[in-house]
C-alpha cells in the first residue's frame, strides 16, 4: 500500500526522516522565497493562495488532487503528530510500518477525541469565532446535503471532537470526504463577507472544517476508524490556554 502523510508547515522546521512523511509548505504561492526544501502546495491543481483563509486545508487539497497514485493519504502538522506513544520525539511518531499495520483492519486513523466537557462543539465555536459563517455552513448543508443534517446537529451537540484536521485515510473515504468538505466550504465562502475580519478570524474556513470531519464520519459509519495518540512537540502553557477558554466561555466572542 502506497501511503504518504503530509506535514503542513509555514516555516522552516525539523521534519521526521521516515519516508512516510512529506513536508508541505502551505501558502507557497504567497511566499515563494521562504522555503525551497519542502514541497510547495502551489503546483498542479491547488488552492495555495487561499492559505490565509483555509489554513492547512491547502495541503490536503494539494495532496488529494495531485498524489493520485496513493492508496492512502494523511495530514499532520509540523508541531503535531500521531503516535503510538506519548514521546515528544520525531523518532517516535507513527512510522510507515505502523501505519500499514493499522490500515489492514481500518479505513481511517484519527487522533484522540478532544473533550470540552462543559461546552458543546457549537457553543465552543460560537464563543471563539464570528457566528455568521457557522450559521451559513448549517444552511449550506441543509440545502445541498440534507441527508447530513441529522449528523450535523448530533455532532454540534457533542462535547468532544477530532480536531486539527489530522487523519490518515484510504483513498475511497479520502476522495468522498474531500469532495464533500471542499464543496461545503466553497459554498460558505461564496456567501460570506470576511473583509472586515481580523487576520486571525479570516482563517474561518480552516476553523469550520474542523467541525466537518466528525459530521462526515457520523454519516459514514461504513468506514472503520481507529484512534492513536496525539503528540505536541513543544511545551504548552496550559494555564494560559485554560484562561483563554474560560474567558471565551464567560465573555463570548462579542457577536450575537
Q: Which CATH class is domain 3-251?
A: alpha beta
41 to 10, 32, 229, 248: CA distances (angstroms): 11, 10, 27, 34
Beta strands in 202-253 (DSSP E): 225-227, 229-232
27-42 residue pLDDT tens: 999 999 999 999 999 9
Instruction: Using a pLDDT cut of 90, give the percent of the chain over it.
Output: 90
Instruction: Please report, in tens digits, the pLDDT of each residue of the chain (256 residues total).
Output: 999 999 999 999 999 999 999 999 999 999 999 999 999 999 999 999 999 999 999 999 999 999 999 999 999 999 999 999 999 999 999 999 999 999 999 999 999 999 999 999 999 999 999 999 999 999 999 999 999 999 999 999 999 999 999 999 999 999 999 999 999 999 999 999 999 999 999 999 999 999 999 999 999 999 999 999 999 998 755 444 444 445 544 555 544 3
Take residue 111 and report the three cell numbers written for it: 487522533
Beta strands in 96-192 (DSSP E): 108-110, 114-115, 160-161, 167-170
Diameter over CA atoms, the chain: 49
What distance in Å separates the CA atoms of residue 33 and residue 239, rounded to the nearest whole number?
Answer: 37
Per-position b or e across 167-180, b if 16+ CB within 10 A of its CB: bbbbbebbeebbeb
Amino acid at each position: 500500500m502506497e501511503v504518504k502523510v503530509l506535514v503542513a508547515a509555514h516555516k522552516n522546521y525539523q521534519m521526521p526522516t521516515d519516508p512516510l512523511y512529506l513536508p508541505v509548505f502551505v501558502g507557497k504561492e504567497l511566499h515563494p522565497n521562504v522555503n525551497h526544501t519542502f514541497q510547495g502546495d502551489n503546483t498542479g491543481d491547488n488552492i495555495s493562495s487561499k492559505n490565509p483563509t483555509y489554513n492547512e486545508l491547502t495541503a490536503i487539497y494539494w495532496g488529494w488532487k495531485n498524489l493520485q497514485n496513493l492508496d492512502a493519504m494523511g495530514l499532520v502538522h509540523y508541531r503535531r503528530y500521531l503516535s503510538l506513544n506519548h514521546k515528544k520525539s520525531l523518532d517516535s511518531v507513527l512510522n510507515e510500518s505502523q501505519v500499514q499495520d493499522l490500515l489492514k483492519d481500518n479505513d481511517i486513523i484519527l487522533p484522540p477525541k478532544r473533550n470540552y466537557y462543559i461546552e458543546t462543539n457549537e457553543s465552543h465555536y460560537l464563543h471563539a469565532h464570528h457566528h455568521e459563517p457557522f450559521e451559513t455552513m448549517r444552511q449550506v448543508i441543509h440545502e445541498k446535503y440534507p441527508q447530513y443534517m441529522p449528523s450535523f446537529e448530533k455532532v454540534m451537540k457533542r462535547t468532544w471532537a477530532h480536531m486539527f484536521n489530522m487523519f490518515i485515510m484510504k483513498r475511497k473515504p479520502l476522495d468522498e470526504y474531500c469532495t464533500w468538505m471542499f464543496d461545503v466550504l466553497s459554498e460558505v465562502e461564496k456567501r460570506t463577507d470576511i473583509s472586515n475580519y481580523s487576520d486571525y478570524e479570516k482563517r474561518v474556513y480552516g476553523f469550520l472544517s474542523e467541525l466537518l470531519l466528525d459530521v462526515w464520519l457520523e454519516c459514514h459509519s461504513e468506514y472503520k476508524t481507529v484512534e492513536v495518540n496525539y503528540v505536541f512537540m513543544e511545551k504548552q502553557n496550559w494555564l494560559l490556554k485554560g484562561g483563554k477558554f474560560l474567558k471565551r466561555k464567560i465573555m463570548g466572542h462579542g457577536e450575537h
